[in-house]
Chain A
């Protein structure tokens, strides 16, 4: 059961990653993606896609021109990093120290999951120990309670 759960978690992350990688992109889609990847250099308050400042508009036009010139996504991002520094990217590149930004959340999830498994195993009653109450589904238990209450209230 637990193995399956962890496999599902891993699959969800992997599937999302693969989907993100393999989604074929037209030029318009690439333009849109780049507009979400580059921050508005006026205030760094949001990606250029969401800004209607002159600076953001200028970047949008530049991106369109660079794409028309045949530049790739990475080349365009590199160009902006060279001009404005890493802060221009709406998300850090997954390399070097910044890799930590991406590794930590799934690690937290995995370690958290393992801790819960450990905790449940540690405080779980031994299999040989007889259960004081027969295992019933919550629903059955709940409906019995309802019936009892209704009898008490003479409904």
Chain B
């Protein structure tokens, strides 16, 4: 089976190369047979990649330790579902998984556009073939997951097992979501390049790729949120976002992708910002590759590590190739991309979108700057520095608050121009709500400026959304006599992108509330003997007992901590300190969390002192964390609402098919 994987991967490279050549021949002489041949070649290449991927999964499942990758990322004791997760646990498997997802996108894009976008598809396929070729070459020549161990040591190898940190259910979903997001942006990017090349620069390519952009954006968002959830429940520091370069690498394309999703609305409605939209989607795709380069080249550990990895040089070269090609293409079409329509006023929704875009891009640049600054500093001064979460918190919080303000202002502005009367009517209630909420916060003793501002802005945006929805329902009820629920459902169905967007904003608001909660976290490091207690806020934490349990691939020290408030038992937390026997006795903490709607009780066991019989514990009370996850769910629902075709769309489609 390993041979099958290796062979199919090489065949895939051959088919992909052939598809590229045939596509080029089609573009040169417009003979349709070449296009069909190229399309089939690319699909065959994708199918072969999928076979190779299944082959690696099979090797992992049957624990074939003669394959080096299997030996490094699984063991006989690794639970089955985590053997599967081994596919994305290491560099080689990750690259193959990247390719498999690209293959799926290639097949879907070609199938769904079999009768559409005929003029764009050849270029779309060329772009996807180039990306596929690059990743195939890197995988086959530098990071082949099917490399066999030397004969002599095969029999002795029993597998190193999967990193304990990755042995968590979230890790079965988080990486695939991220990859679906990263790779998915290749589709709108390829369409943008096709539109530029073929000079079809109206809103057609934007409309054709609306769902192809929303989907990877959603996958990336889910991936990022699940990554946060994993960090929260697995890493044991009580937070969910550390501004780690790997996290930033996923956040950057999401930010520019979000900016793009907003600014394409202007192109669809006004045929403006065409140049800007092309730049944004190109930047988004480039950032997905750049993120891979950043996290895979080793450059973040030291600027000098760059030259030490062949892979880093190849990725750097590919990123440069993309940037140069994009710049040349955009410069060649600069005049045709210029806006022909005009803005009428600063107080228009169009201007609101522009400012919103600027803030997203500024936030992305600020995060990129912070991520790259250690490399710059080392290159210029020769001194290693750290740019960690205190820096990013300080820099991004004000920008985030301005963004929150713009989320609220944008929908309250009218298209073209907002009259003073409309402004008064639209802004009075939200501003009133913000002022009242800020005053209540101050009265409750919250005097820290950022939390108060954030909560006031949340109230501002939320009131704006509620007012808009209530007015919409009222208008429908007046004209049709529908019930409020029916009116609401019909209103959403008639304008899914608008109200889907409003639901997404609602999710983002909840997440901001969760972020505010982080400012009020309390924690305590303590050492307790059985029966001893400690107080944190209104809660009493009592160590009832601690004991050791042997499991299939680890030994766990478990502490039973009874938590009570006002003499009533709230819960018993059971954090674990595990030592993985198949991982060179690597220790790992399993956090115990008791979630309530407004706060989480969070406990961690650090270890035990056998002499004194005491256990080292870390306990935390994390307010409002649930809002982050709930916000993520609402964001997902909102995006699905926006993606799902409306009844009118479905009717039109049925008519077209009939």
Residues of A at under 8 Å CB distance from B?
A: 1-2, 5, 8-9, 12-13, 15-16, 18-20, 23, 36-37, 39, 44, 46-47, 49-52, 60, 85-92, 97-98, 100-102, 104-105, 108-109, 112-113, 115-117, 119-120, 123-125, 131, 133, 135-139, 141-143, 146-147, 149-150, 155
Contacts and interface: CB of A to CB of B under 8 A. Distances in A.
Contact of A91 (B362, B390, B471): B390
Nearest to B651: A153
Contacts of A125: 342-344
Contacts of B402: 8-9, 12, 109
B358 interface: yes
A100 B387 CA distance: 12
A39 to B, nearest CB: 5
Given A88-B386, A112-B361, A60 B525 contact: yes
B6 to A, nearest CB: 35
Interface in B163-220: none
B239 interface: yes
Given A60-B525, A91-B386, A104-B369, A1 B377 contact: no
A90 B391 contact: yes
B582 to A, nearest CB: 22
A13 B398 contact: yes
B39 to A, nearest CB: 39
Contacts of B235: 50
A125 B589 CA distance: 62
25 contacts: A12-B453, A15-B449, A16-B397, A19-B450, A20-B394, A23-B448, A36-B389, A46-B389, A50-B235, A50-B237, A50-B239, A86-B383, A87-B384, A92-B373, A92-B386, A97-B377, A105-B365, A116-B357, A116-B358, A119-B354, A120-B354, A124-B346, A135-B345, A141-B414, A150-B480
A131 B416 contact: yes
Contact of B476 (A47, A86, A146): A146
Contact of A105 (B237, B383, B399): B399
B560 to A, nearest CB: 20
B449 A92 contact: no
Nearest to A50: B237
A139 B121 CA distance: 38
B386 A44 contact: yes
B242 A46 contact: yes
A81 to B, nearest CB: 10
Interface of B: 235-239, 242, 272, 339, 342-347, 349, 351, 354-355, 357-359, 361-362, 365-366, 369-370, 373, 377, 380-381, 383-391, 394-395, 397-399, 401-402, 405, 413-419, 422, 425-426, 448-450, 453, 468, 471-472, 475-476, 479-480, 491, 494-495, 525, 589, 604, 606, 618
DSSP class of B's interface residues: helix, strand, loop or mixed?
Answer: helix
A137 B346 contact: no
A105 B362 contact: yes
A97 B381 contact: yes
Contacts of B394: 16, 20, 91
Nearest to B365: A108
A155 B370 CA distance: 56
A92 B374 CA distance: 9
Given A86-B385, A91-B390, A125-B344, A108 B366 contact: yes
Given A36-B390, A124-B345, A137-B425, 7 more contacts: A12-B398, A12-B402, A13-B398, A47-B388, A51-B237, A97-B380, A150-B476
A51 B604 CA distance: 12
A137 B426 contact: yes
Contact of B414 (A1, A47, A135): A135
Given A15-B449, A146-B491, A105 B346 contact: no
B339 A123 contact: yes
Contacts of B419: 135, 137
A8 B409 CA distance: 14
B449 A52 contact: no
Contacts of A92: 373, 377, 385-387, 391
A52 B618 contact: yes
Given A1-B347, A104-B366, A109 B359 contact: yes
A16 B389 CA distance: 16
A12 B401 contact: yes
A113 B399 CA distance: 12
Contact of B344 (A60, A86, A117, A135): A135
Contacts of A12: 398, 401-402, 453
Contact of A116 (B355, B390, B449, B495): B355
A124 B342 contact: yes
A108 to B, nearest CB: 5
A19 B417 CA distance: 37
Nearest to B364: A108
B346 A2 contact: yes
Q: 10 closest Cβ contacts across the A-B interface?
A: A50-B237, A91-B391, A105-B366, A90-B388, A135-B417, A137-B414, A137-B422, A143-B475, A112-B358, A125-B342
Given A47-B388, A51-B237, A86-B384, A141 B415 contact: yes
Nearest to B495: A142
Contacts of B383: 85-86
Nearest to B345: A124
Contact of B480 (A51, A52, A155): A155
A115 B365 CA distance: 15
A101 B398 contact: no
B388 A91 contact: yes
A90 B386 contact: yes
A137 B397 CA distance: 32
A139 B414 CA distance: 7
A143 B346 CA distance: 24
A133 to B, nearest CB: 7
B361 A131 contact: no
A19 B370 contact: no
Given A86-B384, A131-B417, A102 B494 contact: no
Contact of A113 (B344, B355, B377, B606): B355
A146 B365 contact: no
B344 A124 contact: yes
Nearest to B577: A52
B2 to A, nearest CB: 34
Q: Max chain B CB contacts within 10 Å: which of A8, A19, A102, A139?
A: A139
A136 B418 CA distance: 7
Nearest to A110: B362
